């Protein structure tokens, strides 16, 4: 596929870094939201099981190809996704 956006390599790396930080950090407000509300019924169990499995595969992939950014971003995302999953199981069991 040809490149459709004509930016320097440095600009592309910057956009990629912003992308990685945002998609990784975004799970933190969700974790805080569930923690504060003590409720996670609107959150899909299937989503977080499938997502966590996918992120675990990204982690293995990052370790396999020796990529620090892929490994680090997915280790943090996996920890946050598993924490949300744990709170969901805890709060849903009560309701």
Binding site for a second copy (CB under 8 A): 1-5, 7, 12, 15-16, 18-30, 32-34, 37, 39-44, 46-48, 50-51, 53-55, 57-58, 60-61, 63-68, 71
CB of 62 to a second copy, least distance (A): 9
DSSP one-letter string for 18-63: HHHHHHHHTHHHHHHHHHHHT--TTS-HHHHHHHHHHHHHHHHHHH
CB of 56 to a second copy, least distance (A): 8
Taking the least distance from each CB to a second copy, the nearer of 67 and 76 is 67
What CA–CA distance (Å, rounded) separates 84 from 86?
5
| Nearest residue to 59 (alpha-carbon basis) of 81, 88, 43 | 81
CB of 92 to a second copy, least distance (A): 10
């Amino acid at each position: 596929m040809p490149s459709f956006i004509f930016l320097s390599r440095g600009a592309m790396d910057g956009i990629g870094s912003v992308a990685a930080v945002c998609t990784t950090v975004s799970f933190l407000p969700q974790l805080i939201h569930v923690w504060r509300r003590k409720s996670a019924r609107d959150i899909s169990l299937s989503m977080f099981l499938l997502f966590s499995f996918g992120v675990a595969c990204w982690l293995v992939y990052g370790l396999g190809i020796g990529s620090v950014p892929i490994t680090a971003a997915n280790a943090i995302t996996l920890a946050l996704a598993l924490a949300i999953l744990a709170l969901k199981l805890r709060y849903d069991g009560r309701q």
